């Protein structure tokens, strides 16, 4: 009996201590004079991230609008019990992402290079490791390297046309087809392999990609933990990707590198550039593919680093570009005048290049660029930019001091839909990004790829494959909305990247047989 009473007292004391700890954690912002939206005692403001009740983009809009409605420059959130700072003021955001970057050089995401090699990628690494790897990889995404990979992208459009032609006369699930298209492009450019996803929707590459982006059950819970409590997941050696996915890609990367090295295979792709960095720490000059080395000799990377970069390039690139293309085609299907104007520009530019879609021709398509930018504004592929405060920081123009370890979340979706920066933000209006109107855009109000030193290194590649896909489809087909598309659109909380409930279904009508080559 005495033992039971002692145990009961200890349990009660532990519960009281736990409650006090939670109460203290969830009063962090009130003690600092910052407002917070209503929250859950167990999850803070992240309940919907664990339960998948609300999509990420909708959460970013919700929190931004809450603070904006109160006329605030910033506010406080809780990811479980961890304090998260959300700035709304664009000047503060500029300081965080650019001017005072040394205080916020990390994203605060899970990374465990030793036990989970694929997590040691450029997106998640921190501090000096990130800076060194960024320096090594930056030359692989130069305009010269993009031109080098451009013919591969154009070649993949042949398979895209075949699939669309088979679907003529019926509703087309455009997000699925474009996901297969970008899987084939990046599989070829990153791995040097023919993924064959367009012809075979059940290809291994496609299945592995979908398994990462559409998680349920335990995988869904793990994903939320990676973001909210990265240190705990690291302590328990939890893999960022399912084990079978990790094993699949590690094997493919090692087999590909080994085969190329043993047989002296050279391909003008991303994998070749990484193999050069692995063996020599240098890249071959664009114009002299076999000589004239640049960069320092101490830039060598390991096999695990190759695997991590190739895989994050694959996952970050294929879905975001497919999503952007899908939303773009949805919008131009609703507005035939915009669709016709793009098509006229494509035909005019191609005529000036002997009917060939070259890198230079793509760069001349200014209205297409406006349409893509407006799509990225209305449907940002990354709705929120995470950062973590690396050392105590006084927020400019305020009395608030962010302590080391406090997370920061910038609501890209909120900024992009703020009527103070974009009049009638729900309207799809590519002329916002015309040469004349771009001059009037509020600085730092367009953040589809981030800003500052952490700006997405693959943005140029992503934009290029997005535009190639759009040219291939808009050149030969007239598009309209199919009744299977559920309108108004609702974002599906089951997916990591913005995706709509019920999919995006379009009708295609063949209007030309022009091929791009």
Which residues are part of a known binding site for heme?
Answer: 456
- Alpha helices by DSSP H, listed for 168-229, are 174-186, 204-213, 218-228
Question: How many angstroms separate the CA atoms of 457 and 465, rounded?
Answer: 15
Positive or negative torsion for Cα 107, 214, 154, 246: positive
Q: Please say whether the beta carbons of 386 and 108 come within 8 A.
A: yes
Q: Which residues of 125-148 are buried (b: 16+ CB within 10 A; e: fewer)?
A: beeeebeebeebbebbbeeebbeb
Let me know if 70 is exposed, middle or buried by CB neighbors in 10 A (0-12, 13-18, 19+): exposed
The two structure tokens encoding residue 263: 């047989």
399 to each of 34, 36, 393, 395, how far by Cα in Å? 11, 17, 10, 7
Question: How many angstroms separate the CA atoms of 504 and 487, rounded?
Answer: 10
Preceding peptide of 488 cis, ω within 30°:
yes
Nearest-CA neighbor of 339 among 437, 475, 436? 475
Angle subtended at Cα 206 by Cα 203 and Cα 207, rounded to the nearest 5 degrees: 85
Rg (CA), the chain: 24
Question: How many angstroms separate the CA atoms of 100 and 451, rounded?
Answer: 12
The pair phi, psi for residue 178, each rounded to 5°, is -70, -30
Question: Count of CB atoms within 10 A of residue 21's CB?
Answer: 11
Q: Please say whether the beta carbons of 302 and 275 come within 8 A.
A: no
Q: Please say whether the beta carbons of 36 and 70 come within 8 A.
A: no
Beta bridge partner(s), residue 44: 40, 79
- Run of H or E including 256: helix 243-263
Question: How many angstroms separate the CA atoms of 131 and 122, rounded?
Answer: 9
Question: How many angstroms separate the CA atoms of 186 and 154, rounded?
Answer: 12
Task: Give the residue ranges of the annotated binding site.
Answer: 456
Residue 212: strand, helix, or coil? helix
Question: How many angstroms separate the CA atoms of 82 and 78, rounded?
Answer: 5
């Amino acid at each position: 009996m005495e033992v039971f009473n002692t145990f009961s007292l200890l349990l009660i004391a532990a519960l009281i201590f736990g409650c006090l700890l939670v109460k203290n954690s969830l009063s962090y912002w009130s003690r600092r004079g910052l407002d917070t939206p209503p929250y859950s005692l167990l999850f803070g403001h992240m309940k919907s991230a664990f339960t998948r009740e609300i999509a990420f983009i909708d959460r970013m809009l919700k929190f931004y609008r809450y603070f904006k409605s109160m006329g605030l420059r910033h506010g406080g959130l809780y990811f479980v019990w961890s304090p998260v700072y959300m700035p709304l003021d664009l000047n503060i955001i500029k300081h965080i992402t650019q001017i005072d970057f040394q205080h916020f050089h990390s994203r605060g995401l899970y990374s465990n290079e030793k036990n989970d090699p694929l997590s040691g990628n450029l997106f998640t690494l921190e501090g000096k490791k990130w800076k060194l790897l960024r320096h090594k990889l930056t030359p692989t995404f130069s305009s010269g390297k993009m031109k080098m990979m451009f013919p591969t992208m154009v070649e993949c459009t042949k398979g895209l046309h075949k699939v669309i032609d088979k679907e003529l006369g019926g509703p087309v699930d455009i997000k699925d087809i474009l996901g297969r298209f970008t899987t084939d492009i990046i599989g070829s450019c990153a791995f040097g392999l023919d993924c064959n996803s367009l012809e075979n929707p059940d290809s291994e590459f496609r299945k592995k990609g979908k398994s990462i982006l559409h998680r349920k059950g335990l995988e869904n819970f793990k994903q939320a933990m990676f973001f909210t409590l990265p240190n705990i997941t690291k302590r328990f050696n939890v893999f960022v990707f399912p084990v079978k996915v990790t094993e699949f890609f590690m094997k493919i990367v090692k087999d590909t590198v080994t085969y190329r090295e043993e047989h002296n295979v050279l391909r003008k792709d991303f994998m070749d550039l990484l193999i050069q960095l692995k063996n020599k720490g240098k890249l071959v000059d664009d114009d002299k593919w076999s000589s004239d080395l640049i960069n320092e000799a101490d830039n060598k990377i390991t096999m695990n680093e190759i695997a991590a970069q190739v895989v994050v390039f694959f996952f970050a690139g294929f879905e975001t570009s497919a999503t952007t293309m899908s939303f773009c085609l949805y919008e131009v299907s609703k507005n035939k005048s915009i669709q016709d104007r793009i098509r006229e520009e494509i035909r005019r530019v191609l005529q000036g290049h002997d009917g060939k879609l070259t890198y230079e021709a793509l760069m001349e398509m200014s209205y297409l660029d406006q349409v893509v930018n407006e799509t990225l504004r209305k449907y940002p592929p990354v709705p929120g930019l995470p950062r973590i405060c690396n050392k105590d920081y006084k927020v400019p123009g305020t009395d608030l001091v962010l302590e080391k370890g406090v997370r920061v979340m910038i609501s890209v979706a909120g900024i992009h839909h703020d009527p103070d920066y974009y009049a009638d933000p729900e309207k799809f209006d590519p002329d916002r990004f015309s040469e004349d109107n771009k001059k009037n855009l509020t600085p730092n109000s367009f953040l589809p790829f981030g800003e500052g030193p952490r700006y997405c290194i693959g943005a140029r590649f992503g934009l290029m494959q997005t535009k190639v896909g759009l040219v291939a489809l808009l050149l030969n087909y007239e598009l309209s909305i199919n009744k299977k598309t559920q309108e108004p659109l609702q974002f599906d909380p089951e997916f990591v990247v913005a995706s709509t409930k019920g999919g995006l279904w379009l009708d295609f009508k063949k209007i030309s047989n022009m091929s791009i080559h």
